[in-house]
A = this chain, B = another copy of it.
Amino acid sequence: MKLTTDQHILIVGLGLLGGSYAQSLSAQGFSVRCITRRQSSVDYAVRKGWIESGSTEPTADLIAWADVAVFALYPHVFLEWVARYGNYFRQGAVLTDVTGVKSSVVYRVQELLPSGVEFIGAHPMAGKEVYGVENADAGIFRNANYIVTPTDRNTPEAIELCRDLGVRLGFAHVSELTPEKHDRMIAYVSQLTHCIAVSLMTCNMDPHLQDYTGDSFRDLTRIARINEEMWTELFRLNREALVSQIDAFAGELHRIRTYLSDGNDEKLKEMMRISTARRALFDKKPD
């Protein structure tokens, strides 16, 4: 089951990501509406032509209008929303999301929904260090990865539809992982990197730092400008996997420290060769 442009798409939470979905899908001819907190976000997106209309209230009519709904909310807000309004969806509606953690969200949402309304999790791995629909830009999906996280409650039709959404949005690579594998992976490639960037900014308080830095330091700390509410919640919901990745990383860093203080140049070079070979894998694709 692929998406067809006669399907109604409802975006719940019109921020950077929700807005970018709306921009891309409306340009492809879909009817897009939204439910979001701020009236100014609705007004902005209507002016841009990204949505037909929107509401700051989750009305039964608007919810029942949707064939496909995309949730772009903080995890706890998402769960509360589904508990409260999930029953308004029509039979056969397919729901998906953009949440950055999966195990702690996907199963609970699936349990909360009435039978005949299907939720299939997805994680578009794209973003910016800025927020809000005013910064939405469907271009952020190019060269980015999109991960679908089905459970055994999902139908092949909904999985296909969710994958098709990723393709239509322009993601370079669409893949599938279980919620658990997704969370372990994300603990490594996204959450650990944010912990590193924060630690790197706070471990030295030299006030003149910016006069002495090179590109590498700026690259490593770009994500140190961090939305503390969102990331604290994402970390908390994936605590076990993240702690385990921090430990694995800290172990490798400690290995470098040991080789360094032991003067073991050969082992140090060996680590660097492995690192170089692994990093080279990434440059096979545009980056």
Contacts and interface: CB of A to CB of B under 8 A. Distances in A.
Nearest to A247: B257
Nearest to A196: B196
Interface string A172-211: 0101010000000110111011111111111111100111
A146 to B, nearest CB: 10
Given A147-B212, A212-B185, A216-B194, A243 B272 contact: no
A242 to B, nearest CB: 6
Q: How many copies of this chain sit in the oligomeric assembly?
A: 2
Contacts of A235: 260, 268
A265 B278 contact: no
A185 B204 CA distance: 10
A273 interface: yes
Interface in A267-287: 268-269, 271-276, 278-285, 287
A213 B287 CA distance: 11
Nearest to A235: B260
A2 interface: no
A236 B211 contact: no
Contact of A246 (B145, B175, B253, B282): B253
A279 to B, nearest CB: 4
Nearest to A257: B246
Interface residues of A, number: 90
A226 to B, nearest CB: 5
A248 interface: yes
Interface stretch (A44-52, A158-166, A217-225): A217-225
Given A220-B197, A228-B276, A257-B243, A251 B203 contact: yes
27 contacts: A125-B213, A127-B215, A144-B215, A147-B212, A175-B211, A177-B212, A189-B217, A190-B216, A193-B200, A193-B217, A195-B256, A196-B253, A199-B256, A200-B249, A203-B245, A203-B252, A209-B281, A219-B219, A219-B220, A224-B276, A224-B278, A225-B279, A235-B260, A236-B263, A239-B261, A243-B260, A250-B254
